[in-house]
């Protein structure tokens, strides 16, 4: 078992090292591709200057393209810190500053030119040739010599790619090894380009001793310096680099013992917790279900205020929420039913009170009219006649819905009374489509609007004014509007009134016959989307309008009204 786990750990660490190596291979391939592109540019420029190459482009434009290419290559590869090109035609960089004089004086630069290798990897150093002041960033340089196509011994240029040492270190740390490890990245000559370590104390002397053992292959066997380490290697093909990882075997053994003990302990604890969890889970399921059943029994006995505690698993929680929602809706429905029954009883009582001997009132008004005619007072006679018509229209409770013709006749009776008072100060005009005169409408909707226009608009102006009543078809059915050129309303008064109407969502307003009453009855009979629309400009006038459905009145509608209370009941249910 221990040998199997050890092999699995070794395999895992080999895969980690391979992933790091593949990342470095990817960086190397990108850099080599860039170096080949730049080498071709240097050779083409060399041939161009000697007159043996193409002359399709001008030399100045070609030189400008070099720096653009360098900057693009730098942006596409994050590990590249900077790129430099040095040849007879000039020197170029992918950054904003480059000191050629400082670069060519470097010992490593001279050694790279003398090397037999075409590409030389230079160990970590300070790139002070990249900055105006200071030592510059730490980089690893890849120096590639560009050989003349005409003479294999002649170097016509140098391409230098500086690698970001910090990004390289992050790449080496990108995969997890054991706590005690050492990773080395070396070039073809065996020189250390970068090294990282775990929690172990790896001094420079220790690293050099380990390198000697690695070079002499004395890391295995009894007494070997590295016999306590597990060694893994990977070759980075791009530049012949070697990636080596050494992981402490002793630390692996101690971790194995700890892991084994932890595995046994976790197994025992898992069994214990599984037993406890099974008991608690069963209890958690059954107890909420039992409570829910108890609440349901109370609910079935008539306790509609019972509420289940929303707990348990998903299914029981859904049942509890559904039960609470159902009981809440039933409570609301019962409360609504109680309120409607109370309102129905009050309405019936008011209806019975209004029907007490109405002929007495008719006869009284007719007596007043006869006396007025006998004494030659026609104005009083006209008022009595109009009052009788208004009274008969209002108290005839059997027909809650009438025709637009009857509603406008009622309005005219009211206007006749008001004209006796205001005389020439009040002018009223009707603009009505005749085809709409038999359209259904609930009673006493237009007269309160006319009354409001007289007392709050025309009456406020000394010279009086004009009221216009419009009835015409609209996309919503039939639009009825009452306009006046009276005093109008100030903006704050208009906003306050509109707010009051908005807050009035169809409740009954008692015995009031004002705007709120009309607004509420429109919503109650025709649907919540109906209601009054008020527009007003101060000292210019006011317009109040509303829409009703286009429904022609008939005897069948009258019978439906007597049976259901409203021929619009079906429309109300649809809202």
Rg (CA), the chain: 50
Name all domains of the chain by residue range, CATH numbers in brackets: 1-247 (3.30.450.20), 304-353 (no CATH), 424-564 (3.30.565.10)
| pLDDT winner (highest mean) among 61-75, 273-287, 425-439, 493-507 | 425-439
Let me know: does 407 contact 518? Beta carbons within 8 Å. Answer: no
Let me know: does 411 contact 447? Beta carbons within 8 Å. Answer: yes
**Strand, helix or coil for residue 163:** strand
Let me know: does 515 contact 448? Beta carbons within 8 Å. Answer: yes
pLDDT, tens digit, 9 for 90 and up, residues 103-142: 888 888 888 888 888 888 888 888 877 777 777 888 888 9
| Overall average pLDDT of the 200-213 stretch | 73
According to the model, what pLDDT value does residue 569 have? 37
pLDDT higher for 494 or 355?
494
Q: Give the pair of three-digit tokens for residue 289.
A: 């279900």
| pLDDT winner (highest mean) among 273-282, 321-330, 413-422, 467-476 | 467-476
| Least confident range of 323-332, 381-390, 541-550 | 381-390
Q: Report how far residue 218's alpha carbon sits from residue 323's, in angstroms, rounded to the nearest whole number.
A: 79
DSSP 474-507: ETTEEEEEEEE-S----HHHHHHHHHHHHH--S-
| Least confident range of 3-7, 273-277, 287-291, 371-375 | 3-7
According to the model, what pLDDT value does residue 502 have? 83
Q: Is the pLDDT of residue 341 over 90?
A: no
| Overall average pLDDT of the 22-31 stretch | 88
pLDDT range class, residue 322, cuts 50, 70, 90: confident
Rounded to two decimals, what is the model's pTM? 0.43
Q: What is the DSSP letter of 148?
A: P
Edge-to-edge strand order for the sheet containing 80-87? 90-93, 80-87, 155-164, 138-147, 119-126
| Overall average pLDDT of the 175-186 stretch | 77
According to the model, what pLDDT value does residue 189 have? 80
Nearest to 18 by CA among 235, 246, 249, 252: 235
pLDDT range class, residue 5, cuts 50, 70, 90: low
pLDDT range class, residue 51, cuts 50, 70, 90: low
Q: What angle do CA 393, 399, 401 make, to 5 degrees?
A: 90
Q: Report how far residue 51's alpha carbon sits from residue 71's, in angstroms, rounded to the nearest whole number.
A: 28
According to the model, what pLDDT value does residue 363 have? 62
pLDDT, tens digit, 9 for 90 and up, residues 390-439: 777 776 645 678 899 999 999 998 898 888 888 889 999 999 999 999 99
pLDDT higher for 557 or 126?
126
According to the model, what pLDDT value does residue 535 have? 95
Let me know: does 6 contact 252? Beta carbons within 8 Å. Answer: yes
Let me know: does 4 contact 10? Beta carbons within 8 Å. Answer: no
Tell me the pairing of strands 155-164 and 138-147: antiparallel
Q: Is the pLDDT of residue 440 over 80?
A: yes
């Amino acid at each position: 078992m221990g040998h199997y786990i050890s092999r699995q750990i070794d395999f895992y660490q080999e895969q980690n090292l391979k992933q790091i190596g593949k990342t470095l291979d990817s960086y190397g391939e990108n850099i080599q591709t860039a170096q080949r592109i730049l080498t071709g540019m240097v050779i083409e420029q060399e041939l161009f200057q000697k007159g043996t190459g193409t002359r399709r482009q001008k030399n100045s434009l070609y030189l400008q393209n070099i720096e653009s290419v360098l900057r693009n290559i730098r942006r596409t590869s994050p590990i590249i810190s900077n790129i430099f090109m040095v040849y007879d035609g000039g020197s170029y960089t992918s950054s904003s500053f480059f000191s050629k004089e400082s670069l060519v004086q470097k010992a490593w630069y001279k050694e790279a030119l003398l090397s037999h290798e075409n590409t030389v990897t230079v160990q970590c150093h300070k790139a002070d040739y990249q900055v105006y002041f200071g030592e510059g960033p730490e980089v690893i340089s890849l120096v590639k010599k560009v050989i003349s196509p005409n003479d294999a011994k002649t170097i016509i240029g140098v391409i230098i790619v500086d690698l970001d040492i910090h990004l390289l270190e992050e790449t080496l740390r990108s995969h997890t090894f054991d706590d005690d490890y050492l990773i080395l990245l070396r070039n073809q000559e065996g020189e250390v380009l970068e090294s990282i370590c775990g929690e172990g104390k790896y001094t420079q002397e220790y690293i050099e001793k380990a390198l000697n053992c690695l070079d002499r292959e004395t890391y295995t066997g009894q007494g070997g310096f590295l016999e306590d380490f597990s060694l893994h290697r990977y070759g980075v093909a791009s530049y012949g680099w070697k990636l080596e990882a050494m992981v402490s075997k002793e630390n692996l053994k101690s971790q194995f013992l700890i892991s084994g003990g932890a595995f046994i302990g976790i197994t025992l604890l898992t069994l214990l917790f599984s037993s406890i969890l099974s008991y608690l889970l069963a209890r958690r399921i059954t107890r909420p279900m039992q409570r829910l059943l108890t609440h349901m029994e109370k609910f079935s006995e008539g306790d509609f205020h019972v509420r289940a505690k929303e707990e348990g698993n998903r299914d029981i929680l859904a049942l509890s929420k559904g039960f609470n929602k159902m009981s809440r809706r039933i409570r609301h429905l019962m409360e609504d039913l109680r309120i409607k029954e109370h309102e129905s009883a009050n309405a019936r009582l008011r209806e019975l009170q209004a029907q007490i001997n109405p002929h007495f009132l008719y006869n009284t008004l007719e007596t007043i009219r006869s006396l007025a005619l006998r004494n030659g007072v026609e104005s009083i006679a006209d008022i009595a006649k109009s009052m009788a018509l208004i009274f008969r229209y209002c108290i005839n409770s059997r027909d809650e819905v009438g025709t637009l013709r009857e509603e406008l006749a009622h309005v005219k009776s009211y206007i006749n009374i008001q004209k006796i008072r205001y005389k020439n100060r009040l002018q009223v005009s009707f603009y009505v489509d005749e085809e709409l005169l038999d359209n259904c409408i609930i009673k006493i909707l237009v007269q309160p609007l006319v009354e409001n226009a007289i007392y709050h608009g025309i009456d406020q102006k000394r010279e009086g004014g004009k009221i216009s009543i419009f009835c015409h078809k609209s996309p919503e059915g039939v639009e009825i509007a009452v306009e006046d050129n009276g005093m109008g309303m100030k903006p704050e008064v208009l906003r306050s009134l509109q707010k009051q109407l908005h807050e009035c969502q169809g409740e009954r307003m008692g015995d009031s016959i004002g705007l709120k009453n009309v607004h509420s009855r429109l919503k109650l009979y025709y649907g919540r989307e109906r209601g009054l629309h008020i527009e007003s400009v101060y000292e210019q006038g006011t317009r109040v309008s509303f829409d009703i459905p286009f429904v022609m009145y008939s005897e069948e509608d009258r019978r439906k009204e007597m049976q259901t209370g409203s021929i619009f009941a079906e429309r109300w249910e649809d809202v």
